[in-house]
Chain A
């Protein structure tokens, strides 16, 4: 009697297990189809000519459907960004790490709170200000005040030559 019950239990458990794997195998394609498709992924990098950008000017380019700010910073802005003490920052990052070439700040123009595009040269720290929920960013795009949790993101980029930046 006891032996028989065990054999049944094993069969049930094995059936449930195979059924669960089968259900998972069917559900996963249904979920994954919503992830970025091949055509979206193919548009992953952009080259930008920055020869016309003078100091104190920002251009905005579209990369992966998101705005990227390319700002050629003035010497005052660089000095301001580099003089801030790390302990004063909500998300401590050195300006040297955010802008290897101090004159050029390349970052995603997306507020890290809920994804709005912050306004240039606004706010309490002479950097950016997000009009949606009032986040203030400094001249290095670091969060200083407001609900955003982190600094604006620096995308992967490199200078292909003196006047061309490749993002992505």
Chain B
């Protein structure tokens, strides 16, 4: 992995490292050459690792007090909130932690979209990331069912019913998922088991995600390939560790604000009513981080096609490295892509907004236009843009614009830019 061979200084260290090269790994991680122009958008990988560990630790503690049974789950959550020492704190961290996790992952994903981090040779990192994102959504959904409130119950009913859209076998699959003829105790117990399992699957995939990252190394804001190690890189420790640590502190302030001042603002009041299979809440909405996809589901008037559209909206991301035909990675040098990027950001925010509104009238119309545009961006705009866009000159290295020597930088770079390839 490392460019140079590493030998531990101490005799014991050398003896151990010859048998299990953990010290070589630690050395690789501290010396890992990182582009020196990484900005704060690159700190969200570390923040996400923090989020995952927070969810696992608080989740383990909650599982010590929670009872996965339809008759007792709701009471046991109230027991955690009222009786367990610091139970309120641990549960609020876990519940808001899910939202913080998604906040960070969306910034992380949109960072990749802006700087073209998904492009060759980083396709595998990107696809592993999409799988992690899918698992995160599954874990969040399963976890939301566990308190067994009204939103838990009806959210579970609506989402599991998505599978009934599959022709022929759909109903059988839904019954199989439920372990009965409706969402009930067997559903709750299996959801608890899977909710417990998924974070560890994510942890394994995070290791692969980082491993795959360390093969080509980090992308960077100007999106060029850099020599490693060189004048363009700094060692991960202490430079990136300190920067990530500072960003993490800032992030924790936001996190703590939600936990201590508005712990329920991201949830739904209906979930403090115990599950009742006879009454559907007047307005079912998923958690905020799933709203754009929910809007896409509802914008299609056909059940099966709606489900297909929603799933495609997520899976299309996996094909992104091949849909984006541009050789230039960073949007910094793509004047047109930059504009379409911000339109996409606005489009997703609009989808999120209409996803929270009733599916009728003007909202439905907006949802349909925004859904159409979402697919248009990936299926038409990106492939075409790669061939037609006139990109601006890309520097040869991170230091070149400063230390390049030529006073007329733009002219000096022009003949070497990627555009002529």
Contact = CB atoms under 8 A, between A and B. Distances in A.
Contacts of B306: 147
A132 B284 contact: yes
A116 interface: yes
Interface in A113-162: 113-118, 130-134, 146-149
Given A36-B181, A131-B282, A134-B360, A116 B158 contact: yes
- Centre residue among A35, A40, A64, A132 by max chain B CB count within 10 A: A132
A131 B280 contact: yes
Contacts of A146: 301
Interface SS, B side: loop
Contacts, number: 87
A51 B46 CA distance: 66
A74 B306 CA distance: 36
A20 interface: no
B175 A35 contact: yes
Nearest to A36: B180
Contact of A40 (B186, B300, B303): B186
Given A36-B175, A40-B186, A147-B303, A117 B180 contact: no
Interface string B294-312: 0000101111101000000
A134 B359 contact: yes
A114 B186 contact: no
B162 interface: yes
B179 interface: yes
A66 B279 contact: no
Contact of A132 (B158, B178, B181, B278): B158
Contacts of B114: none
B213 to A, nearest CB: 35
A114 B180 contact: no
A114 B282 contact: no
Interface in B111-156: 154
Contacts of B277: 62, 65-67
A37 interface: yes
Contacts of B154: 116, 132
Contact of B184 (A35, A65, A115, A131): A65
Contacts of B281: 131
A30 B411 CA distance: 67
A60 B278 contact: yes
Contacts of A52: none
A1 interface: no
A31 B302 CA distance: 30
A132 B158 CA distance: 9
A117 B277 CA distance: 8
A116 B184 CA distance: 15
A148 B162 CA distance: 12
B278 A67 contact: yes
Interface string A51-64: 00000000010101
Interface in B176-203: 176-184, 186, 190
A62 to B, nearest CB: 7
Interface residues of B, number: 37
Nearest to A67: B278
A8 B298 CA distance: 57
B358 interface: yes
Contacts of A26: none
B283 interface: yes
Contact of A149 (B162, B181, B283, B303): B303
A103 B278 CA distance: 23
A25 interface: no
A34 interface: yes
A146 B298 CA distance: 10
B303 A62 contact: no
Given A115-B157, A149-B303, A132 B179 contact: no
A117 B279 contact: yes
Contact of A131 (B161, B283, B304): B283
A34 B304 CA distance: 24
A114 B174 CA distance: 11
Interface string A17-49: 000000000000001001111001000000000
A34 B190 contact: yes
A100 B140 CA distance: 45
Given A114-B157, A147-B298, A64 B180 contact: yes
Given A114-B157, A114-B161, A132-B284, A34 B177 contact: yes
A128 to B, nearest CB: 11
Given A36-B180, A65-B180, A65-B183, 15 more contacts: A36-B178, A37-B186, A64-B182, A116-B154, A116-B157, A116-B158, A116-B280, A116-B284, A117-B279, A131-B282, A132-B280, A132-B284, A147-B298, A147-B303, A149-B303
29 contacts: A34-B177, A35-B176, A36-B180, A37-B186, A40-B179, A40-B180, A40-B184, A40-B186, A62-B277, A64-B180, A64-B182, A65-B183, A65-B184, A66-B182, A113-B161, A114-B157, A114-B161, A114-B164, A116-B154, A117-B279, A117-B280, A131-B284, A132-B284, A133-B298, A134-B358, A147-B300, A147-B301, A147-B302, A148-B303
Interface of A: 31, 34-37, 40, 60, 62, 64-67, 113-118, 130-134, 146-149
